[in-house]
Structure 1
């Protein structure tokens, strides 16, 4: 127990004592020690006495050092230290000396309690500060006029000649009243003016600290969620693969099965029909295999090296390409394919209103295609025979309303005990990504109905391809979405409409400018701390200057130029004054961009400074403001900037030292000095040149020490992490790193899944293709009977169902370890923990758990 208690005490002390407290203690002791050297009863203009009692030098020393205690804790405990300081001041004014030198610490206490304390207590302390100013003025005026009140008049007069006392010890207010009023007014002004200035500076700093603290918290949150974002990216990639596997590959396998079943009966007696059906099955199998390879990113997209079958099928690439990026125009082919695949299906399509697919955008067109594809697949698989189906498209002012319904088996389709899939989950995810909605369920009286609403894009242009990954089967969504970071999903949309030549370049440029303006506005709105709503006028001005730092740097440069403006009235010609003003302007101009382009600004400033020191015959403004440039490039520039800043400081310091020595010791300009180098180095200038060497070395050393000290100050400010621009740059770096980590996590997850299931699914699909090739060879031979053709189609249907079963197992694994709000079932594993082979083995008996559909679970 004793060890635990000791550890608790040690942890408490460690939390309380930090670097800021140590620095404050050192500063308080140093300032108090420095001021105590001036503490003497002879240095306070007769204010060594107090309101009630006279004071000795020992008491003055004690009161001087006692204020070091609250000063040391002014930032660690601002309210407590301020209350302690006020209490000590009141005791001092009543019982101690009327004035001690460390009373000036009151300004530091007031600054700390406003800048670092709670907002609601700042105003009470301001009122207290003003009240203490009047109280201090009254006490000190009384002491100057009358002395301590506990002493008799004669004793007070003998101790010090107080203004309102006569030699007899009586008060003479008539003679001292004007002086008394004057002294009170002067003292009150001397106290209130610094108090007002400190209040303004404290609120100014409070606004900056609030913004910096909020940005620090946001950066810390970005760092903390990096691992979580990578995990979410991996889960989202699994969900994407599962969704696209269902919409592309499973759909193709369904067509293969329907074609094989139809060919088993219709093609047995028609050799040409059987051969055509077998060729279609073979091409669809090759297409499914190519889609799997592209879906997992194994071969980097569509390449002919996927399978040999792709090389042998000249029409396959176009079909696959259409299915990769389907649009509203491909729906006619999808409907025709459904009609041809099932002769018992009577399918009608109605279009109401004026179709405006361009207003939907490319991602929404993909969603429309996938919804119809899923609905028609389910109708062929579950509705039964002799089915009538209708597709209704209603084009309204706000979007497209779809309604796909049939008069098939409806809820009775579940009676065969088939395992439910994940098609409706993917459908709902796609609709949600576009801001749409949808329902699916059995109809009253029989049949099944799917409804969906797809809104138009938010602008006349197409929606961003970022969202297209939710509706299509393109690349991973992470590769496109990370560029937006935390921005709103509706901002920064980029047109996907294809134009050519100069027109497209102009459109892209305009979109870039508009998106930049929108993003800047969002950043300004998002970059406000929650505390900004309570800001007063001083804090609002401070925040405004932070956001418009370029304008503020311009105003500072103009102010410096006006301070050092040279007019012809100072005894110089107008031409000479104009040249000097021009040199000052060239010197100050790079400083306008010291925070926007720190390296470029510092480089131009250094070049201008060195050229002016070498060429101009007068002392320029450059050495004075060089500290401004060095500090800025160290604080706002990259860390690698010091590689060239340090040599530049050394070169500039040497140039300044030579210029200073030439003008002030040798009495010549730099150009004259350069021309006189041979004479100075010769015998005639030996004595003078030797005497100039110490001056040159001293100036060089002083300039280097000054600029390197400023550079160290900039590095210190950068390390503290309290500058808004530095924090903003850090945030951008964190977001870029987060985007890279998300892409890396998605790519690694895709590669892991691809490496595990590629051989499995490919072998299954190649088995279907092998059966189709064997069937084609059988049809080309002469000794083929009806039973052999029927058996060939039956074998293909069996292989197709095996492939579809395996695909369903894969979808179950991916969905139950993936990322879907609608699949959050009890007992679901939410993270891909075990290898995929083990998960497939666990799923060997079919997916477990309940339905994953909308109303009835009907989907594939």
Structure 2
């Protein structure tokens, strides 16, 4: 910045030297008369502060003001460098402290008025030591023809006419100077508002780049939290049923082999389902495909079946012993009721909210089975309103006393809270007064949905990520396998989360989904509908308005907290509504150009011969696309190219308005895609060559390129050899091509400088998209590196449960084949083995959840291995378990 300003100051000094060299005599001052050399010295001194006008704007302006005062006293009344005062005033407003802006404007105005008076005095009265006339010069001279003010020093007369002349000339100079000051102040305020917004967006881009590593880390942590949450929902619920079934079957089956077989079959089925869900949890991008609100009935029936199994153990006249702290058996005469108040409208629940409700009920019923104790009455209450679903799961079990057996709170309630808050709802849970436990949640419906981040540590303070690309998953994805994207409007005016298609990694059979209202017959039959070609839809007025509307641009505020003035507010308005600004500006230019259709070769067009109508047609068709030069930059440039080619081929005149095609070229390269310069460069070369052909055809006597193609000459050519004519056409073609290439280079430089609001906004969007991809990559890598270990750990324990259940069933089958009834001890031992294995699996799962939730992500053990990409190599889950101090 200092180097560029210093070079600019040096160039200005050279320019002023040339000006004074060609101007001849200089301007006199109030005291002395100065020649050209002295004025060049004054100009050089006055130019020096411009070298630091952006580095130290206020100091440079004060130095210039001090030299200006000294100049007005002892120097020439005016030098060309005095015009730099406007540049320094502009710099001090744009780059200086906003709190001192008014003071510098007043100082500039005062110096302007003072300069007007000094310039007028020096011009009319003359310098004091070198007046126009001395006392000796007026002796014997007729003074009637002399200017009044020339006699101030010569005769000591200051007449009223001289005073009037001085006031009039001072007023003229003051009006001109103050007008320049006002224009400079308006331009400075306008630019200051732009630069404030540019600096804010540059800081945001820098912050996005700086936070990339932290965002990847947070994405990995969020994925660990999601895996822990889903694994808890998949496994803990099933293991609690297995343990309850094994405890009940241990006593009921001892007296009834049929009950024992049925219970073991149930245990095997639930274990296989949990194992399948575990594989699906890691085998599908985005997590397991869990159920949602419509599956709550099946969940309740499953819980009632587990309760019925325990009731059978009671009918056998046995009681369940006290279970381990990890799981407390659900028991006799437990009852689960579900009440719905109002009209249930599950279609208004977002994908995330629907899954959150299901998991809330699932976790609540799991906790009832584990901790509530015997004779429990569970009530699931739903109250539907126009804006929210109010759901409560209560029981009359042990409540706060359930912690007396030594068990520690797990991660189920934490995962429940994360799911509900991700859906924009609130949840509370805790013991009830008088006994029991209650879970209460309020989840908004439809337009009331507020998207919140969904993930692990630190995710709550960050915006929801963009939808993941095909084959990947958002690092903060819900357990339904769909990313929480932005809320969009539906045709009914509701606000729903759009569903992101998620492709499975393997051919995992998907659970049949319940048919929602609006599905067709193919969906209800469970088969894919045949493909039918989709006809293009005509956009509605609202959709068209949204497409044409300017993209929103964030606006900054002044650092000192003061409000913007009207110029700055207008500047920010034009930035926010750049499409409206371009339309208004383009239409005004079209009106001016249509009123003065000037040809680049023949001057004004003649309306009598119809050239005026042709000229106005050319102006409108070639300039109208400029209305969209920033909203649709490449489309506007393409339209200008098409219309320019049409004009060059079909019509004769080339108008001054055609130069505005460079604006479309500049906008396409600056605001368009990064590769837009390629096709616009080729198009520019083609148009330049066509322009040369048009010039050559005109020289040979053809009115247009079309006339040359049809070989219909209207008038004689200008004459000259073909070589000379070709050289002239090539010169015109080269000049147009050079102008286009210069425009492209200027736009490329402006794009790389990062000093344009729309370019910075596009860069911010690109950074956010890249950051989202990096977060997806971090989440996918974290999932892949820990999924194998977790699947092995949990799958082995579930496989052992299945093996124990199969062994028990085989034992019953063998006894039946021999015509014997198995002993009560062998049945009890089989169920005891199953229960012990289930408790072992549940204990180890809690250890895994602790590692996933509390130890950070897996690269912390290798943080210095690859600083540029800390997501590899990964520590194994065994190492993390050892680091966490857990044991198998």
Instruction: State the Cα distance separating 1:651 from its structure 2 match.
Output: 2.0
Q: Is 1:351 aligned with 2:339?
A: yes
* 1:342-421 to 2 correspondences below 5 Å: 342-343=310-311, 344-349=332-337, 351=339, 353-354=341-342, 356-358=344-346, 363-393=352-382, 399-421=388-410
Q: Is 1:32 aligned with 2:13?
A: yes
Contact map agreement 2:388 2:443 (CA 8 A) in 1 = yes
Instruction: State the Cα distance separating 1:663 from its structure 2 match.
Output: 3.6
Instruction: State the Cα distance separating 1:148 from its structure 2 match.
Output: 2.5
Structure 1 residues 334 and 82, CA, compared in 2 at 3 Å: closer, same or farther?
farther
Residue of structure 2 in register with 1:336 after alignment: 304
Per-residue CA deviations over 1:786-824 (Å, capped at 9, x if unaligned) read: 3222222122112211211111111111111359xxxxx
Instruction: State the Cα distance separating 1:255 from its structure 2 match.
Output: 0.5
* 1:266-305 to 2 correspondences below 5 Å: 266-297=252-283
Residue of structure 1 in register with 2:880 after alignment: 839
In 1, distance between residues paired with 2:690 and 2:136? 65
In 1, distance between residues paired with 2:137 and 2:2? 47
Residue of structure 2 in register with 1:165 after alignment: 150
Structure 1 regions of 5+ residues with no counterpart? 1-19, 303-320, 820-830, 848-860
Instruction: State the Cα distance separating 1:277 from its structure 2 match.
Output: 0.7
In 2, distance between residues paired with 1:193 and 1:722? 29
Residue of structure 2 in register with 1:546 after alignment: 575
TM-score, normalised with respect to structure 1: 0.81
Residue of structure 2 in register with 1:528 after alignment: 555
Instruction: State the Cα distance separating 1:739 from its structure 2 match.
Output: 1.5
* 1:419-458 to 2 correspondences below 5 Å: 419-443=408-432, 447-457=435-445
Contact map agreement 2:397 2:436 (CA 8 A) in 1 = yes
Residue of structure 2 in register with 1:823 after alignment: none
In 2, distance between residues paired with 1:511 and 1:450? 50
Q: Is 1:796 aligned with 2:834?
A: yes
Contact map agreement 1:442 1:448 (CA 8 A) in 2 = yes
Per-residue CA deviations over 1:119-161 (Å, capped at 9, x if unaligned) read: 22112111111111100001111111222335678549979x9
Structure 2 regions of 5+ residues with no counterpart? 139-145, 312-331, 460-472, 500-515, 524-531, 598-603, 858-870
Instruction: State the Cα distance separating 1:555 from its structure 2 match.
Output: 2.4
Q: Which structure carries more relative contact order (alpha carbon 8 Å, separation 6+)?
A: 1
Instruction: State the Cα distance separating 1:37 from its structure 2 match.
Output: 2.0
Contact map agreement 1:403 1:452 (CA 8 A) in 2 = yes
Aligned to 1:184, the other structure's residue is in SS state helix
Residue of structure 2 in register with 1:205 after alignment: 191
* 1:595-606 to 2 correspondences below 5 Å: 595-606=630-641
* 1:486-505 to 2 correspondences below 5 Å: 493-494=496-497, 499-500=518-519
Normalized per residue, the structure richer in helix is: 1
Contact map agreement 1:463 1:493 (CA 8 A) in 2 = no
Residue of structure 2 in register with 1:754 after alignment: 787
Instruction: State the Cα distance separating 1:540 from its structure 2 match.
Output: 1.4
Instruction: State the Cα distance separating 1:284 from its structure 2 match.
Output: 0.3
Contact map agreement 1:464 1:493 (CA 8 A) in 2 = no
Q: Is 1:736 aligned with 2:769?
A: yes
Aligned to 2:447, the other structure's residue is in SS state coil
Residue of structure 2 in register with 1:715 after alignment: 748
Aligned to 2:19, the other structure's residue is in SS state coil
Q: Is 1:692 aligned with 2:725?
A: yes
In 2, distance between residues paired with 1:346 and 1:59? 108
Contact map agreement 2:291 2:358 (CA 8 A) in 1 = no
* 1:250-269 to 2 correspondences below 5 Å: 250-269=236-255
Contact map agreement 1:130 1:192 (CA 8 A) in 2 = yes
Structure 1 residues 835 and 72, CA, compared in 2 at 3 Å: closer, same or farther?
same
In 1, distance between residues paired with 2:394 and 2:791? 36
In 2, distance between residues paired with 1:511 and 1:152? 80
Residue of structure 2 in register with 1:629 after alignment: 664
Instruction: State the Cα distance separating 1:33 from its structure 2 match.
Output: 0.9
In 2, distance between residues paired with 1:412 and 1:772? 33
Per-residue CA deviations over 1:522-568 (Å, capped at 9, x if unaligned) read: 973x7121339722111111112222222222223322322222699
In 2, distance between residues paired with 1:656 and 1:362? 59
Q: Which moved more, 1:685-694 or 1:717-726?
A: 685-694
Contact map agreement 2:350 2:496 (CA 8 A) in 1 = no
Instruction: State the Cα distance separating 1:66 from its structure 2 match.
Output: 0.7
Instruction: State the Cα distance separating 1:48 from its structure 2 match.
Output: 2.7
Contact map agreement 1:406 1:448 (CA 8 A) in 2 = yes
* 1:557-636 to 2 correspondences below 5 Å: 557-565=586-594, 571-573=606-608, 575-621=610-656, 623-636=658-671
Structure 1 residues 628 and 544, CA, compared in 2 at 3 Å: closer, same or farther?
same
Residue of structure 2 in register with 1:477 after alignment: 476
Per-residue CA deviations over 1:70-106 (Å, capped at 9, x if unaligned) read: 1111111111111111111011111211111110101
Instruction: State the Cα distance separating 1:418 from its structure 2 match.
Output: 3.5
Contact map agreement 2:387 2:444 (CA 8 A) in 1 = yes
In 2, distance between residues paired with 1:97 and 1:685? 55
